[in-house]
Chain A
Amino acid sequence: MAYEIDGKSFESDEEGYLIDLSAWNEQLADLIAKDEEIDMTDEHWEVVNFLREYYNEYQIAPAVRVLVKAIKKKFGKDKGSNKYLYELFPYGPAKQACKIAGLPKPTGCV
């Protein structure tokens, strides 16, 4: 599988996760989001950008529990819940948001 932008091809695995992390850009994120039937809002970007920062620092994607806690700390109490994250990413925040962020599929993915 691959994503195409302006004739340039970005390789992904069979589930749509980007192979080359460094090839990621915001345009590509938008395209992956479209495949996931997600309209990227500022709230979506907050989560996606957080995941990228976290991955950069720790070299793995966070567990959902960590993600919820971190979002709560950073963006306020009303955003720090599983429900909020599932509203943004109905098929699982870790799974979908990681895909859009161009990160590998989380192990023990919830």
Chain B
Amino acid sequence: MSEVEFDTAGVVKNFMYVNRKAPYGTIYALEVLEAVLISAAFEQNAAIVFVDDGVYQIKKDQDTTAINMKNFSPTYGIIEMEKEDAEEDEDMDMVWRIIVEKESMEARGLTPDDFKVEVEVLSSDELAKVMAEQEVVISG
């Protein structure tokens, strides 16, 4: 049997995930989170963005007992871990950013301290520029 050679270098693209909806009530937040984790498995670049009610997805101290749903907010910790790993690991070129839109955050009376993960706060104009640099934008 001949040896099969795989090209492991692969293609790396810039992905942006735009989270716009509250964490519960629809499936969008959870589905986007799953997609983000898959993107990590393929070591793709990712900008994970939270705008509008999406900023609530990474709010600290979520309690879902009253709506009888699983609190999946601890899973966002993986995004932060992946980001740190990518920064530490010299063999890995993956670039991850966690971005919150300033206007959405302020309109809801939130500050960066209210989030479970460390975030970059960008204004709507700055965010638009980052968005223009992406090759793939997935919104939910």
Contact = CB atoms under 8 A, between A and B. Distances in A.
| Pairs A-B, 3 closest by C-beta atoms | A59-B74, A63-B41, A58-B75
Nearest to A54: B78
B40 A59 contact: no
A57 B77 contact: yes
Interface residues on B, range: 10 to 19
B77 A69 contact: no
A26 B6 CA distance: 40
A60 B75 contact: yes
B115 interface: no
Nearest to A69: B85
Contact of B78 (A58, A69, A107, A108): A58
Interface of B: 34, 37-38, 40-41, 70-72, 74-75, 77-78, 85
Nearest to B37: A63
B41 A59 contact: no
Contacts of B38: 108
B71 to A, nearest CB: 7
Contact of B72 (A59, A66, A69): A59
Contacts of B40: 63, 65-66
Contacts of A108: 34, 38
A59 B75 contact: yes
Interface in A25-68: 57-60, 62-63, 65-66
